[in-house]
Structure 1
Amino acid sequence: MKAIVLQNIEAPLNIEETPIPEIGPDEALVELRAAGMNKRDWWIWKGQYAGLKFPVIPGSDGSGIVKAVGRELPESWTGQEVLIYPATDWGDSEAFQGKNFKILGLPENGCYAQFVKVKGDMLYPKPDHLDFIQAAAFPVAGLTAYRALFIRGAWKEGDKVLVSGVGGGAGTFALQFAVAAGAEVWVTSGSEEKIKRARELGAAGGINYKEKDWSEKLLKEAGSFDVIIDSALGDGFAALITLAASGARVVFFGGTAGNIPAINGRPVFWKQISILGTTMGSPRDFEQMLSFIKDRQVRPVIDEVFPLDQAQEAMTRMNTGGSKFGKMVLTIGS
């Protein structure tokens, strides 16, 4: 089969011929039609991710058609259009992932290939309203956003939401999910164009965090927020505490701008604010997300689509955060 095999740190993302995976009794072989791209893939390529091993086929997000199943799986899966849950061994607790939790694409080979083998419990029917490209955009970023908003953030009707740094895959999904649920949603960004795009997706408004005293201006215009979703941390995180309402949940799933800065703890305990970390989500979260996007007919925002043999160009595009909005997807096969 044709696959992008990463041979070493920053090695060229060229297509290679490699054997089709052999499946075990509890595994399925999926012929992929599309693979979503995540910043995780970039960090692996740059050699800045834990547990590196080479060679490896990257890619955690995949959609396609089941071509074969092991003897322990129902034969009825064969021929079905599926979306892949992007991890294995979440563990017994819904509160956190277990020590054996692994994300597809490292250490196990992932979805930048014509075929991938996965455990049977990673297969989910592709939502009918999505094509393969749209479906492949959801797994990692969509699941991360869903858990941040609804599970860790415990959004409920009437809660006002702030998405900090909108434009990336998970941040855009957080905006879309909150709007679909009926929330009043505001955003921040360093780009006026991204704020405009967010408004077009249903945001009530937004503010450029490059402005002086941006948090005070946002507080005056929009008021405080019950759920705040962040993926950057860094110096701007302290301002989110100012914007948090009493009883608010501030949820973060990344640290691209650095660590949590020194913050004034007094409003945190006085307003009983919860600061919560989150990572991806459990199979139950994934099932709930799929049900939500089917019920609300949510479709992803796709920034750009590349064929598999242009994975290097796509990786470069993915790192140009200034203009990118939404998800990058690779097309595979017919």
Structure 2
Amino acid sequence: MKAVVHADKAGLFGLAVRDMEELQPKAGEVRVKLKTAGLNHRDLFVLVRHKPTDPPLIIGSDGAGVVDAVGEGVTGVKAGDKVVINPGLGWKDKTDAPPQGFEILGLPFHGTFAEQVVIPAENVAPKPEHLSWEEAGVLSLAALTAYRALFTQGQVREGMKVLIPGIGSGVATFLLQFAKAAGATVYVTSRSVEKCQKALELGADKAFDSNADWEKEFGGEKVDLVIECVGAATFNKSLQQLRPGGTIVTFGASAGDVVELNLRDFFYGQFRLYGSTMGSGEEYKEMLEFIEKHQIKPVIDRIYPLEQFQEAFNRMENAQQLGKIGFTI
């Protein structure tokens, strides 16, 4: 089968479309013939973590397709089922943190940038009918990350004021749509005028330049919840906009992972800080029910043929995207 494989060289130089051996599902597993797949920032990080001396690896975490083979003992899933893939392996129940052994598809195990993928049967779910194949293929990792950060960790409720710095990524666009569907007032920032405008079209109540004076933009108003995925570049500015007793949830550090924190301001503010990463199988099911109830769709940036992976990676690496980048297979 054809697949995008990382091998022999570091970074993007190690990526190539190769012929790989077709895999067979073992007991408890299913094989999915992929129609579409989604690109994530994680795939850029994998190119750093996977070394040239490691065995060749099919990368990619997100995907959707049709089950074409099932292993021994599999029930509830059959050949011909249209499915989306939960990339989180080994995290079934909603817990405070992932269990030991939790992994994400695409490293260390072969991923979705291929004609087929073999995964545990518990990691597939029926494709939401309101989603196209392109939308279904880019859904899972970003939507699950957004769902856990916003609902499980952030405990968002109707009437809350939510700040999402750095609108533009797939996760951030899901955060915006989810928070609005939950009845929150949502503020976003971006250095891009185009991304701010798109956020307003998606329902944001206010969008402003990340480089602006945030205190002035808010006019003294404070928020109940901040979902931080930018990192050091915005973290302290986000904290300054949080009301006393408010919550900040962080799951990303694309603009720096070391933050200097004034502890006195933090404890006097009675703030709550939570980390978040991906989510459990239980939360994945909740997320699918939520998007079906509210008919939420991913914001699609661009869809490429899998063979044009280089253009897709370059677009993401240069932060040009608004929403999700995907592949047709």
Normalised by the length of structure 2, the TM-score is 0.95
For residue 42 of structure 2, what is the amino acid of its counterpart? R
Aligned residue in 2 for 1:278: 276
**Residue 49 and residue 259 in structure 1: after superposition, are their counterparts in 2 closer, same or farther (change >3 A)?**
farther
Kindly state the Cα deviation for residue 260 of structure 1 after the two structures are TM-superposed: 4.1
What is the CA-CA distance between 1:91 and the residue it aligns to?
A: 6.1
Shift of 1:159: 0.9
Measured in 2, the distance between the counterparts of 1:309 and 1:243 equals: 44
Q: Can you list the C-alpha shifts for 1:66-92, whole angstroms capped at 9, x where unaligned?
A: 001012112752111000110211266
Q: 5 Å matches for 1:249-268?
A: 249-268=247-266
Asked if residue 325 in structure 1 is aligned to residue 322 in structure 2, the reply is: yes
Number of residues of Structure 1 aligned to a counterpart in Structure 2: 327
The 1-side partners of 2:81 and 2:53 are apart by: 33
| Equivalent residue letter for 2:4 | I
| Structure 2 residue identity aligned to 1:244 | L
Gaps of 5+ in 2: none
Indicate how the Cα distance of structure 1 residues 91 and 74 shifts in structure 2: closer, same or farther if over 3 A, else same. closer
Instruction: Report the Cα distance in structure 1 between the residues aligned to 2:131 and 2:222, rounded to whole angstroms.
Output: 35
- Aligned pairs for 1:196-215 (under 5 A) are 196-211=197-212, 214-215=213-214
CA contact under 8 A between 1:91 and 1:97: conserved in structure 2?
no
In the TM superposition, residue 12 of structure 1 has moved relative to its aligned partner by 4.7
Q: Which residue of 2 aligns with 1:311?
A: 309
Residue identity opposite 1:5 in structure 2: V
Question: Counterpart of 2:2?
Answer: 2
Percent identity (aligned): 39
C-alpha deviation, 1:218, in angstroms:
2.7
Deviates more, 1:306-315 or 1:105-114: 306-315
RMSD (Å), alpha carbons: 1.8
**3-state secondary structure, aligned to 1:5:** strand
Kindly tell me: are residues 50 and 175 of structure 1, through their superposed partners in 2, closer, same or farther at Cα, counting changes over 3 Å? farther
Deviations 1:272-308 (A, max 9, x none): 2111110000111101100000000001101100011
Give the conservation status (yes or no) of the 8 Å contact 1:12–1:312: no
Corresponding position of 2:65: 64
Q: What secondary structure is seen at the aligned counterpart in 1 of 2:58?
A: coil
Please state how far the C-alpha of 1:259 moved relative to its aligned partner.
2.8
1:17-74 Cα deviation digits (max 9, x unpaired):
11111110110010000011001111222x1469994310000001000001012112
Segment drifting more, 28-37 vs 308-317:
308-317
Q: Counterpart in 2 of 1:54?
A: 55
Alignment correspondent of 1:97? 98
Amino acid at match of 1:215: W
Q: Distance in 2 between matches of 1:142 and 1:183?
A: 18
Cα distance in 2, alignment partners of residues 51 and 185 from structure 1 = 43
Instruction: Specify the alignment match of 2:294 in structure 1.
Output: 296
**How has the CA–CA distance of structure 1 residues 210 and 252 changed in structure 2, closer, same or farther, with 3 Å as cutoff?**
same
Is 1:137 aligned to residue 128 of structure 2? Answer: no
Asked whether the equivalents of residues 88 and 278 of structure 2 are also in contact (C-alpha less than 8 Å), the reply is no
Task: Give the direction of change, closer, same or farther, for the CA distance of 1:91–1:126 in structure 2 (3 Å limit).
Answer: closer
- Alpha-carbon distance in 2 for matches of 1:196, 1:5: 37
Question: What secondary structure is seen at the aligned counterpart in 2 of 1:216?
Answer: helix
CA distance in 1, matches of 2:5, 2:271: 45
1:48-197 pair list within 5 angstroms: 48=49, 53-74=54-75, 76-90=77-91, 94-197=95-198
Output one character per residue of 1:220-252: Cα deviation in whole Å (capped at 9) or x when no partner. Answer: 17x111110111221421111110012211011
Please state whether the residue corresponding to 1:77 is helix, strand or coil: coil
For normalisation by structure 1, the TM-score amounts to 0.93
Distance 1:308 1:56 in 2: 16
Q: Which residue of 2 aligns with 1:219?
A: 218
